Structures are given as C-alpha cells and as structure tokens.
Structure 1
Amino acid sequence: MTSAKPEPAPSCPVHDYTPYELKPLGEWTAFYDQLRHEAPVVKNEFGRGYFIPTRHEDILAVLQDPETFSSEALVAYEPDPSYKWIPAMIGGEEHRQWRRQLGPYFSPREIERVDTRVRARARGLIEELAGRGSCDLMTDFALKFPTAVVLEIVGLPEDDLPFLMALEEDINHAIGDPDDVVRRKVAAIGAVKQYLAEKIAQRRARPADDLITKSLDMRIDGRPVTDDELLNWWQFLIQAGLDSVAGMLGYFFHHLATHPADRRRIVDQPQTIPAAMEEMMRAFSFIVTGRKATRDTEIAGCPVAAGSMVQLALKMSGRDDSFYDHASTVDFDRGTSNHLAFGAGPHRCLGSHLARRELRVALEEWHRLIPDYGLGEGEPITEFGRSSGVNTLPLAWAVRAG
C-alpha cells in the first residue's frame, strides 16, 4: 500500500485578520515579517478579500504598473469607494496634468522658500514642551507640527487646527466595529469637504496670496477645474498633511528613545540627520495602500483576477532581507535612499520634498533643545495594521536648570 502524496503547498496562503486591530508596537511588524517569510503573496479574507505581495520586487512592480493595477481604490477593503482623491485616485493623461500643475508648489525650490516658517513652527512647539520634562510626542508635537505647517502653506486659519485634527482622528485612527469605522470615516471626509467648500467660496469672493486662491486657476484639458475636483484635491492634501509625517515622527522618536547611541550621534553630528532619516524611513515605512487589478494577472505566480484588490504594506518592502542586507537593523551608515516610503511609479508621493523637510527640521530642532530623553510612563504604545502610525508615545527628560 502506497501512502498518499501530500498536497502541494498553496501558492497563495490564505489568512483572515482585521487590520483595524490595535496591537502593541512591534507586533504588527513581526506579523508582516511572518507573512513575508511564508510566501511571496498571501491573501487576507477580511472584507471582500485582497492579495498582499510581501517582497520588495513585487511591491515595486505593482506600484510601477498602473495599467494593470489601478489606483481608483486605495484602501484594499474598500474596493468601490464613494470618494475620489485627486490626483491619487486618477490615472492617465488627467493624472499627468494634475501633477504638472501641482508639482511646482511642492518642488525643492518652493520648499526651501518656506524653510524659515517650518523651522519657526517646530521651534515654537518644542520650546513650549522643553520645560515640562515630559510629553506625549504624538498629541503634543507630531500631530500639531506638520498639520500647522500645511495649514500655513495652504492659507487656512491656525484656529481651525483642533477641528481638523478631530476629523483626522475619525479618518485615520478610529477604532471599533469595522462597519462603524467606515461610516465615521466617510462622515469625517464629508465634513472636511464641507469645510473646504466654504474656504473655496471665500477665496472666489475675496482672493488672497495663498495656495487655495492659486488653485482656482488650474485647468484640465483646457477647461477650469470644477469645485468638486478642487474639493477632492484639497481633501486629499489636508488628510495627507495631517497624518503621514506625524506617523513617521512617532516611529523615528520611538527608535531614538530606545537606542541611545543613535540618538547621541544625531545630537553630536547633526549633519548625519539626512542619512539617518532615509534609513529610518526604510525601516519604519508604515503606509499601507491599495491597488485594483484591471485585468486577470498574477503576482509572483499567484493568480489575481480582474477586479481583485491588492494591498501594499510598504513596511514589508523595507524589511525584505532579499533586497536589503540585515533589513531589520537600523544602520545610519547604510547609505541607501532607494526605499518605498513615498511609494513609486506615477503616483509617488507629490509632497515628499515637504515631508522630508518637516522630518529633518523636527529632528534638528528637537535634538538641539531636548537632546537627552527616553520613554516615559503612560498608556501602552500601540499601532494599527493599517496606515496610521503609533497612537501614543510618552517621552521624558530632565529639565535643564536656568
């Protein structure tokens, strides 16, 4: 009697987990590492189900193939979104026209022009904290700093910051039943749009020297952009400005608070900050984005049917040992900037120059004013499996005399 042959291992292992689950910091990273070691592609049955490429080369290939993997849906468990963020969720010539017109406002030259304002904003917030001896980095600095910078550049009142941060909480950090979370997210997006519609109407009536007024003159295919298009663009910009840099700062400061040698190097050799930033962005990329298959295709041998969603957890790329030597180790001398923290392909982050400037200024000004710090007491540090960063980061330091 011959024994039955074992069934071949599936080319795409199936899981069923919720990305809304809060876990202690590091557990999601370990889980994603496990998936990458398990197979080049896995499938999560959460929602309607979606595929997850786990290795750098496949994640990069999806990002660079917008014809096969459309950005019309950016959240893997929302395949038919009721919103349309511009320019992130459009493609082809229309997308190129938006990028050409928006690009100059976020160019290195333009970002250099606003450096003084960005630095003053960071310095003011940090000076207020320095004498306290402790803070929650996320609520006291990481969320306030980039949001205030974006509001200033765009031309929105600083007094509106608490209102927009509360909406951002529902868009990116809501917890609970997934259906309720989605409803809260959609409602918050609607509230942001209503707020922006009022600001656009005000600028049409009373133009000002700000980005909102300048955007009113943009044209697509020779026609003026519509108010609805402007709302979708501004809603996306505000949301991105509220959350992405803040999330990265959380991971940066957690690493530096728990690795004194790296922190001391930044204090003693501030010229190393740009390289340190690139390395930490590689190691701690937290953005999770999605794409929708436009045709029957495959990823690393795993069949992907037309209409299927694909989730790209950029952290999985940065921690891929087949692409980066000792990928889980943070090495400020690695000398690499070819990470995917800002994505890749035609939809690579339009605001990457501003984000880098904000991150660099935050590290420079913080370590000039508060050079020695560690983790403080407070709520457990947790994170979602989806894009949002850490939820809290208590820090503590000795207050300087005088």
Structure 2
Amino acid sequence: MSTTDQTSAEAPTCPVHNFNHYAELDFGEKLARYDSLRDEAPIIRNEFANGHYIVTRYEDIIKAYQNAKVFSNTAVTVFNPNPTFRWIPQMLDGDEHKQWRKQLNPLFSPKHVERLEDKVRERAVSLIKEIATKGRCDFMQDFALQYPSFIFLELMGMPFEDLDKFLHWEDEILHVSGDAEETARRRGVATVELTEYFRVLIDERRKEPQDDLISKAIEFEIDGKPATQEDLESFCILMFMAGLDTVTATLGTTFLHLSTHQEDRQAIVDDPDLIPSAIEEMLRAFAIVIPSRKVLEDVEIAGCPVKAGEMVCLPLNLATRDEAAFDDAKEVQLDRSPNNHIAFGAGPHRCLGSHLARRELRIALEEWHRLIPNYRLAADSHPTESGGQLGPNGNIFLEWDV
C-alpha cells in the first residue's frame, strides 16, 4: 500500500485516498483515475488539500447539484473552504444568485447568442484559413486559445491586443501547479493584477457605456440597489475565467480525440449534420469541469456521513461516464441518443454560457472540417493537463497534407 494512495480497510464504504487532482499529468491519466474511483466506491475521502470528499456516481452527484440549500456555492474549490472573495454569480446562493441570473440569462439566451453567428464564423474561418496553408499547427496555441478568446473579449468589450496578458493571468489562476505555497502566491498576484485591470475598465464604462456585458452589468440592481463596484469586479473575474478557459479545453479534448480516431473524424467530414450530436458526445465523454461545494449541514451521501463545513468535490465526468446512466459510458459514440448529459452542470448553478459554448464548438467543427478535413496527431505531440479542470494544456500538434 503506497503512502500517496492509501485505501482504508476500516471504512469500506468510504475509501481514503491522497489524490492531487491539480497535478500536471499526461492527458487521459486523470480521467482514468476518476473512472477507477467510480468503480471503487460511490464516495471517496481525499486527504489532498484541506481534506474533502469526492462523490463518484451520477445519481448522488445530481442530488447534490439540485440541493443548493445543503451543498452551497459559497466555496467552490477544495483549496479554500472559507474564501474571502465571491466569484459572481457562481459563488452566490439563494435569492441573490437568482437576481443576478435573472438579469444575466437574457444576455446568454439562444436568441441573443444567435446574433453572434456571423462574427463567430468569420473569426473561425479567418484563423483556420491562415492555419491551413502551413500543413501543421500547435492546435491549442494557434486555434483553441485564440478563437473563443476573441469572442469572449468582444462580448466583454475588452481589447484583443491585450490577449497575451489575459492568457497569462488565466494560466496563473487556473493552471499553475507545483509547490502549494508558490502556487498560491502566483494565483494571488495574478488575481490582484486582473482585479485592478477590471477596476479601471469598469470606471471607464461608467463614464462611457458601450454595447458590452460590463456596461450592461453596471445597470444591474440587486435588492433594489445598483450592483457594487466589488461585485462588478467579481463578476468580471468569473466571466474572464469561464470565457477564456472552458471552450478552449473542450476544443482540445475534441480535436485530440478526432485526430487519434480517424473513423470519427471521417464520419464528421462525410456527414457534417452529425456535428451537433458529436459535440454533445464530446461534452459528455470528456466533461472538463470539477466543481466543489461546501456542506452547510450534516448529511449522508451514499451511506457515508459528511459533517457541516466539509468540502465535497463533484466532478462532472464522474457523472457523465457512469455506466448506470449511460450505456458503454467510457466509449465515444458520435450519434449517441438519447444523451442527457450534465457536462454543463445541473440545478440552479447550471452553466450560464452553455448556448454560446455550443455555438462556438459547432462553428469550429464545421469550418475546420470544411477547410482542413484530413488531419492527424503529430508524433511529437505530448499533451498534458493540470489545474482545476480536465483538458489539455498544450502539445497537441496536428498535421495534414497541403
């Protein structure tokens, strides 16, 4: 029995592990690890970070997401069960959360997102045409980071020429790994710098409003009063992290799969109408987000007592790859139907930007396979992943004949 991965013989219903799910590993190792945890038990005690529980099966995960009164969003990372900050609206509960979502939902509705169709497609085509002439690309750097970032910056009214700065802050906050003290320091520095950036931008929008999310959020009212400066800054930080990271990671997992499974790539080339179904299957099979919740009252999960104040980790992939919910759950089936996955979460905190994300993914797959239909993973690729969600950090090199 190793010291880094111990299983307790005294608590067979709740094995004990020490699993650093922020560590940098070869891509796929974490997904395999989560699959093994699900196979082992419905709930795991993980001694990593401050100590927390990992719920591993679909039914229990769904129940937790739908019970926001017990499983609170006031803390969303196992590193920090008592945060002094609030990412808005993610880290809000109850009526305050409802008020923010009520005002934000129309801005991310299918009808509103549809207005972006031409601009999103234009950006995708421009990037892919430039890439296509080269016969090879660093997929994450050349496309997966650039494409959704442009769309997010457009929505927020942020200058695209500052992209490198934004991506640096994103990497420092979400993907840095290593010594815990140094990691915390770097995250802190990046968060302070990002907050100051948004403070200046919010002040500019107060003076000269534009047609962007920041200007609209300034007009929001919570409990009959204008949203505070601090809350607006917290809102911008959450939008920044979600907008610059989740679609990028999903594009990485999707193209890594297609470039190594030529039958699936060819199926999309032969029948582009398969793309919406393929996207849902990629979202399900490689659900990237690993949310956590704080337990507000003593509760029992899968027979294991969990005390108030404990953190509970609810990785979406543990639900979406559960054989009890999906036949052959670990296999990718591009035409899977039905496919009622929860890759965007569940309950009141379900992902606000799901409609935008689906549109970005659909357009990317349509235009890539129209302009670069025959591609493969280069032999020198070595994708890894680290940080608070699944998804490759880089080293995905694609090749094709020009």
**TM-score normalised by structure 2 residue count:** 0.95
- Aligned partner of 1:154 in structure 2 is 156
**Inter-partner Cα distance in structure 2 for 1:363 and 1:97:** 35
**Inter-partner Cα distance in structure 1 for 2:350 and 2:139:** 28
- Aligned partner of 1:228 in structure 2 is 230
Gaps of 5+ in 2: 1-8
- Aligned partner of 2:135 in structure 1 is 133
Q: Partner letter of residue 360 of structure 1?
A: R
1:161-206 C-alpha deviation (Å, 9 max, x unpaired): 1110111110111121122212211221221111111111111112
Matches within 5 A, 1:263-282: 263-282=265-284
**Inter-partner Cα distance in structure 2 for 1:9 and 1:310:** 18
Greater CA drift, 43-52 or 203-212: 203-212
- Aligned partner of 1:367 in structure 2 is 369
- Aligned partner of 1:96 in structure 2 is 98
1:345-388 C-alpha deviation (Å, 9 max, x unpaired): 00000010111111111111111111111111435211237315
Q: Partner letter of residue 259 of structure 2?
A: A
- Aligned partner of 1:318 in structure 2 is 320
**Inter-partner Cα distance in structure 2 for 1:242 and 1:385:** 14
Aligned residues between the structures: 394
**Inter-partner Cα distance in structure 1 for 2:107 and 2:259:** 34
Q: Tell whether 2:192 aligns with 1:179.
A: no
**Inter-partner Cα distance in structure 2 for 1:178 and 1:390:** 21
**Inter-partner Cα distance in structure 2 for 1:327 and 1:39:** 17
- Aligned partner of 2:241 in structure 1 is 239
Matches within 5 A, 1:294-305: 294-305=296-307
User: What SS does the aligned partner of 1:288 have?
Assistant: coil
Aligned partners of 2:176 and 2:387 also within 8 Å: no
- Aligned partner of 1:392 in structure 2 is 394
Aligned partners of 1:173 and 1:388 also within 8 Å: no
**Inter-partner Cα distance in structure 1 for 2:390 and 2:147:** 16
**Inter-partner Cα distance in structure 1 for 2:221 and 2:74:** 21
User: What SS does the aligned partner of 2:397 have?
Assistant: strand
- Aligned partner of 2:380 in structure 1 is 378
1:312-370 C-alpha deviation (Å, 9 max, x unpaired): 11111111111111101111121133111100000000010111111111111111111
Q: Partner letter of residue 140 of structure 1?
A: D
Aligned partners of 1:279 and 1:336 also within 8 Å: no
- Aligned partner of 1:291 in structure 2 is 293
Aligned partners of 1:50 and 1:77 also within 8 Å: no
Q: 1:76 aligns with which of 75, 78, 84?
A: 78
Q: Judging changes above 3 Å, is the alpha-carbon distance between structure 1 residues 292 and 133 closer, same or farther for their aligned structure 2 residues?
A: same
**Inter-partner Cα distance in structure 2 for 1:348 and 1:95:** 12
Aligned partners of 1:174 and 1:181 also within 8 Å: yes
Aligned partners of 2:288 and 2:343 also within 8 Å: yes
Greater CA drift, 64-73 or 172-181: 172-181
**Inter-partner Cα distance in structure 2 for 1:347 and 1:216:** 22
Matches within 5 A, 1:14-53: 14-53=16-55
- Aligned partner of 1:257 in structure 2 is 259
**Inter-partner Cα distance in structure 1 for 2:153 and 2:138:** 22
Q: 1:145 aligns with which of 144, 147, 166?
A: 147
Q: Judging changes above 3 Å, is the alpha-carbon distance between structure 1 residues 399 and 167 closer, same or farther for their aligned structure 2 residues?
A: same
Q: Tell whether 2:309 aligns with 1:307.
A: yes
Q: Tell whether 2:115 aligns with 1:110.
A: no
User: What SS does the aligned partner of 2:284 have?
Assistant: helix
Gaps of 5+ in 1: 1-6
- Aligned partner of 1:4 in structure 2 is none
Aligned partners of 1:375 and 1:394 also within 8 Å: yes
Greater CA drift, 344-353 or 189-198: 189-198
**Inter-partner Cα distance in structure 2 for 1:306 and 1:322:** 29
Q: Partner letter of residue 344 of structure 2?
A: F
**Inter-partner Cα distance in structure 2 for 1:396 and 1:93:** 47
Q: Could you list the runs of 4 or more consecutive aligned residues of structure 1 that deviate by over 3 angstroms after TM superposition?
A: none
**Inter-partner Cα distance in structure 1 for 2:335 and 2:170:** 36
1:66-112 C-alpha deviation (Å, 9 max, x unpaired): 00000111112221123210011011111101001011110000110
User: What SS does the aligned partner of 2:314 have?
Assistant: strand
**TM-score normalised by structure 1 residue count:** 0.95
- Aligned partner of 2:333 in structure 1 is 331
**Inter-partner Cα distance in structure 2 for 1:274 and 1:382:** 27
Deviation at 1:9? 5.2
Deviation at 1:17? 2.1
**Inter-partner Cα distance in structure 1 for 2:184 and 2:339:** 35
* RMSD, matched Cα: 1.4
